[in-house]
Amino acid sequence: MSKSDANFNLIDTKLNGLRRQWSRFIFLNGIIRALILVLFVGFIIATIEGFRYFQAPVRLSILRFTMGFLIIFFLTPIILATLVRVNRMIAYSNMNLAKKIGKQFSGIGDRLVNGLQLYKMTLEKKSGYSLELADYSVKTVADDIQKYRFAEIIPWKKLRASFIQLLIISLVTSGLVLLNSSFYGASANRLFHPHESFDIPVPFEITSLSGSFGVFGGDTVIVAFQCSGEIPEQINFRAVYPDYLKDERFTPDETGRVEINLGAVRSTIIYEAFVENRSIFKPWKRISSGTDTIRVTDRPEILAVKIRIDPLAYTQLSSDVQESNNLELMLIPGSELTLTLISNKTLKSANLHLRSGKKIRFIVQNKTAAGQFTVFDADEFYFKVFDENDVSNTNPMMYKIRLIPDSYPVCQLISPDSDIELTEAMEIPLGIRISDDFGFSKALIRYRVIKQFIPDMSIVDSLEFPIQNLKLSLQELYYSWSVSDLQLSPEDVVEFQVIVFDNDPVNGPKSASSKTLKARFPSLNDLFSDFYEQQDDIAEQGDEILRELENASDVLEEISLELLKNPELSWEQKNQLMKEIEKTEKAGKKLSKMADQLNDMMQESRENELFDEETLKKYSQLQQSFQEIMTPELREAMQKLQQALEKMDQQEVREALNQFRINREQFSEEIDRMLKLLERVKIEQSVDEIVRRLEDLTERQEQITNEIEQTPESEQGKLDQIAGEEKTVERDTEVLFDVIERTSNDMKEFPLMPSEELKSRLEEFENSDVMEQMSQTRKSLKNGDKNQAGSKSKSVQQQMQDFLDKMQQFQANFNADQMNQLMSDFRKVIYKTMQVSQSQEQLGQMIKDTPRQSDQLMDVAVKQQQIRQNLSSVIGDLIELSNKTFGLSPQVGKGFGQAAAAMSNAIQQMEERNPSAASNSANQATAAINMTALNLINSMNELQQSGSSSGFEKYMEQLQKMAGQQQGINDETQMLGMGQNGQQQALQRLAARQQQLRKSLENLQNELAESSDQGGDLGGIAKDMDDVIKDLQQNRVLRKTLERQQRILSRLLDAQKSLRTQDFKKERKSVTGADIYRKSPGELPTDLGERRTVLRENLEQALKEGYSREYEELIRQYFQLISTEENDKQK
């Protein structure tokens, strides 16, 4: 042993001592900690088991697991301590211990480590180191360490802390265990006996009182349960049916009993009552009564009932099949019911029991049974069925039978809605609304003709009102009833009503009739007087308005002047102005009403064919002018004045007043113009009336002549009647004289009208012996001298005819003269306009050519001023012309205004020595004049074309011809479509013809477009024609082709209708009696039938949808209501 070894041994010993101490520490500390764990884990497991009652395998696993860990816990410190002790742990090697010591004891520091390392190097004999030095060093360290107690570096404090922890845990767990000793005792017992099973304690029990039992299908079943122990708040009940599961909850009574009604049971049921635990602190999961079974034996049962209802044929209702869920049957008396029922079991017998006592036996076949009966009264019934075991069904359902009675039909007259006067068309436009639940058998127009002059000859008769579809339960029907066959004379009356019959075969058809109305055939006198009365009324109203406006003009002027003197507007002045505004507004409204009145008059006279289309057209223009007379400018001026008055702004009032005055002046002038035009039209219309009256008188006289000839001399009564008719002719002739005289006087107002000529015609007629001869005819008829009367009547007729010819000639000349006069005036205005235009154009050039520095420029300006004055003169002529015709509105002169303004500009520019700008202005003026001239020419041409009826008639003829041609093409196409031979060539020929017709149509339309705005309904024909041509060219005749052809034809015919020219029906055969003034009949609604048709279509559509009868009734009522409202509105 060297010195080094000795020294090292000293160190090693010291270090070994330390390692032993450390080993002890590790052992003790490990054991204490293992104990802590054991106590803690054991306590936790015991607690959980105490609550949860783990099952045996779980408990076994817990036990095994716990044991295993305990062993590990205790073995670990022992092994570790041993390893340290034998220096098998690097962490506790000499070197590591030296380092720990060095850290703890600063006096040693790294020297112990260094010593150990040096010693190790000497052992390894590494070169470069001095052994002596190493020895010395080890020795020094060995010496030094002796004085240190290395055990101090062991953390003994930790051991103490662990021990304290152990103590605390031991105390806590022991305390808790002692406090719940039974709980932990039982728990420990179960844990330490892992192979044994322990019962979980339950707080109560549920006992099924009913248990398992058997019942009949359909019987009501009640099951009961008894709870003992702690009675739960609710228990669950589960019944398992074959096809479903029933879960319900019930509350036990105080005694813990629960009764559950399962109702009628039809199948086997398994049931149980139970309570489930959802708390983790209670060991039990489910407390059940255990499952029981109810076994069911089946009864016969009616599964389905099918009821077929067959109403009587007249109702037009189809058979209806109802299912068993409908317990109420609405039936029409006489309906037959066929019932079929299906049972769940094979049946032995089945019956239907009526409440009235009757029992109907059904035919049974296996599970089905069927039977039938007819219903006449309201009743109730049910079914009783028996199975093969004579077990019957229970609680049969009760079916109710309700009856629907066949109601009375309803007939309402929609049009006319009041008494009417017949027009020339001799038609009564009848419109009825009829309704019945099951349709109609017929409708009749019942009428009575009351002859005015022979009251005893009243005729009562009826005719059928056509009903297209008798089955429709609600209908609106329109029928134009021509009364021309009733031989009506003027002033005769037709009293009529419509009766409708339903189709009830049981009680016989029931009927309903509309209100009774009268249609009167007015005399020509009535119509004309009516017309004139209205016309005079309009003229009077117009005059009144004009008078008022003229008076007001003075007031306005006065206020204007006063305002100039004193700008302060007084309260009175303001009121006056407000009144004037109001008056003007009223005047506007009145004019609008007058326009409506004119419209009514036009409508009426058109229906009665009182005047020709030309006169009516003028009325139409007049009416339109009345409508438009209140210009937007006037309205604006009124509004501005009103606003200014409200603001009381003097300046504004003054300006607005001036504007208002100007516009009102124009307004008055326009009314004046309208009234003048009305006067003109009135004269033209009077001339027309004279001719019309003469035509009427001539015809009536001719009829009298014929009647005289045809009446035997012996029939004095008839001759007296003819004498009466002659008397009316005589009197109407006198009326005619008055009309002529009045017309002649009216013409005097207009210098160029042939007043004198007309008067001389009148004198000529008056001086003839026509009146005398009429009187003689009448006397001869009274005396029964037929021959004398006949010859006189002929003579009268001849004279009448002559006079008629003359008057027709007069009328033609009169119209032509009027038109010529107008055209001449037009030409003059146009000529003058063009003169102005030419001079203005020349002047424009002159201005351009004049140097700006020349004093001639001012001369040119003077010339411009002259032209401007000439333009004013033309404007004056234009205004005058506008008083004569509707064809020219003062608006045409608007261009003149622009021209005048441009001329003023030119003058100003010339004054400013700007000839270039002035020349431009002058040219602008020329252009404006030219434009106006063009407008004037267009207006004139339009007027001229409208004045000639020949073009129109030609057009009508062509239309008629084309319709004929189209008819031919249609017929042939239809034949070919049916498959004749040689089709192809024939179709090509037809295509060519159709093509030709298409071209004719085009030409016609072009002509029409050029001549007037009358279009008829030709739109769309061309396209249809093109399609037809295409089809025919492709050798095909489709259904569409034929439809198109038919449409073309209809439109051609419609176009003629819409462009209807005069086609007077000479229905008046005699004229009678005194002047009778009557209100004209209320016209039919403008949308006649249109809205009602829509309503009807909607209704029919609704009924087709297949609603229940209640709904149908409701829909019907709704429709009635709408229609009534519609009627009321129209009234």
Partner 1 sequence: MINRNNYNVIKLIKISLIVFVCGIHLTAQQSWKSPEVIKRELDTKYRLAIQFEQQGQIDRALDIYQYLFDQDPTNANYYSRYTYRLFELKKYDRLEQVISSYLGNKPKDETALTDLGKLYFSRGDTVLAEQHWEKYWKASNYSQFFTQSLFNCLISLRQYDRAENVITLAREHFGREDLFAIELANFQMMRGKYIKSVQEYLIYGRQNHRNYQYVSNQILRFPNDSSLFIQIDSLVQLEILQTKDVPDLYELRADLLFRFKHYNAAIEQTMIVESLRNNTGNAVLDLATDLLSVGEFTFAEQLYTTIIKKPEFRAAVPKALLGLADAFEKEMLAEQNYSPFDYFYRDNFFFVPEYIYGVSASDYYIGRAFSIYDSVIVNLPKSTYTAKALYRLAELRFRILHDIDGAERFYTDALKSGLDNETRDQCIVRQADLLIARGELKELQPYIRKNIVKYSGRTIEKPLALRYLLGLYYQGELDSLLIYSNDLLGLLGVNDPYFNDVIELQNFTEQFLISGDSDNRNAVRDYLKSELLIRQSKLSEAREVLIYLLENYKDTEIAMPARYRLLQLELFFNDREQSEMTLNFMLSGSSQFADDALYMMGDLAHFRDGDAHYAAWWYQILLEQYPNSFMKDEIRKRLRSMHTTPQNTQEL
Report the nearest approach of partner 1 to the CB of residue 943 (Å).
13
3 contacts: CB under 8 Å, gap ≥ 6? 135, 139
Report the nearest approach of partner 1 to the CB of residue 842 (Å).
5
Nearer to partner 1, 674 or 927 (CB): 927
Q: State yes or no: residue 832 binds partner 1 (CB under 8 A).
A: yes
Q: State yes or no: residue 927 binds partner 1 (CB under 8 A).
A: yes
Q: State yes or no: residue 923 binds partner 1 (CB under 8 A).
A: yes
Residue reference for tokens 């000499």 = 94
Q: State yes or no: residue 122 binds partner 1 (CB under 8 A).
A: no
DSSP letters spanning 18-72 = HHHHHHHHHHHHHHHHHHHHHHHHHHHHHHHHHHH---HHHHHHHHHHHHHHHHH
Nearer to partner 1, 929 or 1025 (CB): 929
Nearer to partner 1, 627 or 835 (CB): 835
Report the nearest approach of partner 1 to the CB of residue 833 (Å).
9
Site string for partner 1, 935-954 (x = CB under 8 A): --x-----------------
Q: Are 684 and 758 in contact (CB under 8 A)?
A: no
- Plot region of 851 (φ>0 → left; ψ -120 to 50 → alpha; else → beta): beta
Residue 757: both structure tokens together: 């000529």
Task: Select the residue interacting with partner 1 from 555, 931, 986, 1076 (CB under 8 A).
Answer: 931
- Tell which residue, 266, 322, 273, has the closest CA to residue 294: 266
Q: How far is CA 685 from CA 427, 528, 803, 897, 980, in A?
A: 26, 11, 18, 35, 58
In degrees to the nearest 10, what's the CA dihedral of 769, 772, 773, 778? 170
- Tell which residue, 343, 328, 464, 453, has the closest CA to residue 401: 328
Task: Select the residue interacting with partner 1 from 11, 445, 929, 1029 (CB under 8 A).
Answer: 929
Single out the segment in contact with partner 1 by CB under 8 A; choices: 235-243, 378-386, 853-861, 1038-1046. Answer: 853-861
Which helix (DSSP H) or strand (DSSP E) does residue 882 occupy?
helix 856-882
Report the nearest approach of partner 1 to the CB of residue 639 (Å).
11
Single out the segment in contact with partner 1 by CB under 8 A; choices: 451-459, 537-545, 838-846, 959-967. Answer: 838-846
Residue 638: both structure tokens together: 């009124």
Number of residues interacting with partner 1: please give it, by CB under 8 A.
44
- Plot region of 768 (φ>0 → left; ψ -120 to 50 → alpha; else → beta): beta
Task: Select the residue interacting with partner 1 from 854, 984, 1034, 1098 (CB under 8 A).
Answer: 854
DSSP letters spanning 995-1053 = HHHHHHHHHHHHHHHHH-S--TT-TTHHHHHHHHHHHHHTT---HHHHHHHHHHHHHHH
Q: Are 299 and 387 in contact (CB under 8 A)?
A: yes
- Tell which residue, 208, 260, 254, 202, has the closest CA to residue 233: 254
Single out the segment in contact with partner 1 by CB under 8 A; choices: 129-137, 378-386, 798-806, 855-863. Answer: 855-863
Alpha carbon 624 to chain centroid, angstroms = 34
Q: Are 435 and 474 in contact (CB under 8 A)?
A: yes
Report the nearest approach of partner 1 to the CB of residue 831 (Å).
6
Q: State yes or no: residue 912 binds partner 1 (CB under 8 A).
A: yes
Q: State yes or no: residue 842 binds partner 1 (CB under 8 A).
A: yes
Single out the segment in contact with partner 1 by CB under 8 A; choices: 720-728, 759-767, 831-839, 1021-1029. Answer: 831-839
Q: State yes or no: residue 285 binds partner 1 (CB under 8 A).
A: no
Q: State yes or no: residue 850 binds partner 1 (CB under 8 A).
A: yes
Alpha carbon 535 to chain centroid, angstroms = 44
Nearer to partner 1, 133 or 1009 (CB): 1009
Q: State yes or no: residue 340 binds partner 1 (CB under 8 A).
A: no
- Tell which residue, 827, 812, 840, 832, has the closest CA to residue 939: 827
Q: State yes or no: residue 930 binds partner 1 (CB under 8 A).
A: yes
Which residue type is seen at 320?
D
Sheet holding 302-310, edge to edge: 320-323, 302-310, 336-343, 368-374, 363-365
Q: State yes or no: residue 1108 binds partner 1 (CB under 8 A).
A: no
Q: State yes or no: residue 835 binds partner 1 (CB under 8 A).
A: yes
SS3 274: strand
Nearer to partner 1, 177 or 847 (CB): 847
Q: State yes or no: residue 914 binds partner 1 (CB under 8 A).
A: yes
Give buried/exposed letters for 398-432 (b at 16+ CB in 10 A, else e). Answer: ebebebeebeebbbbbbbbbebbbbbbbbbbbbbb
Residue reference for tokens 């301590």 = 81
Task: Select the residue interacting with partner 1 from 774, 933, 1004, 1029 (CB under 8 A).
Answer: 933
Single out the segment in contact with partner 1 by CB under 8 A; choices: 62-70, 796-804, 865-873, 880-888. Answer: 865-873
Q: Are 113 and 99 in contact (CB under 8 A)?
A: yes
Task: Select the residue interacting with partner 1 from 338, 870, 1014, 1127 (CB under 8 A).
Answer: 870
- Tell which residue, 608, 414, 400, has the closest CA to residue 515: 414
Q: State yes or no: residue 913 binds partner 1 (CB under 8 A).
A: yes
For residue 377, count CB atoms less than 10 angstroms from its CB and return exposed for 0-12, middle for 13-18, buried for 19 or more: exposed
Task: Select the residue interacting with partner 1 from 589, 827, 1040, 1109 (CB under 8 A).
Answer: 827
Nearer to partner 1, 631 or 995 (CB): 631
Single out the segment in contact with partner 1 by CB under 8 A; choices: 27-35, 263-271, 429-437, 843-851. Answer: 843-851
Q: State yes or no: residue 852 binds partner 1 (CB under 8 A).
A: yes
299 contacts: CB under 8 Å, gap ≥ 6? 216, 217, 218, 345, 387, 391, 392, 393, 394
Q: State yes or no: residue 869 binds partner 1 (CB under 8 A).
A: yes
Measure the CA–CA gap between 454 and 452, rounded to whole angstroms.
Answer: 6
Q: State yes or no: residue 853 binds partner 1 (CB under 8 A).
A: yes
Site string for partner 1, 873-892 (x = CB under 8 A): x-------------------
Q: State yes or no: residue 851 binds partner 1 (CB under 8 A).
A: yes
Q: State yes or no: residue 849 binds partner 1 (CB under 8 A).
A: yes
Nearer to partner 1, 575 or 845 (CB): 845
Which residue type is seen at 819?
M
Nearer to partner 1, 377 or 855 (CB): 855
Task: Select the residue interacting with partner 1 from 106, 127, 651, 950 (CB under 8 A).
Answer: 651
Residue 258: both structure tokens together: 């629960």
Nearer to partner 1, 145 or 922 (CB): 922
Task: Select the residue interacting with partner 1 from 648, 934, 975, 1121 (CB under 8 A).
Answer: 934
Measure the CA–CA gap between 840 and 930, rounded to whole angstroms.
Answer: 10
Q: State yes or no: residue 569 binds partner 1 (CB under 8 A).
A: no
Q: State yes or no: residue 788 binds partner 1 (CB under 8 A).
A: no
Nearer to partner 1, 849 or 1087 (CB): 849
Binding site for partner 1 (CB under 8 A): 651-652, 827-828, 830-832, 834-839, 841-842, 844-845, 849-856, 858, 866, 869-870, 873, 911-914, 923, 926-931, 933-934, 937
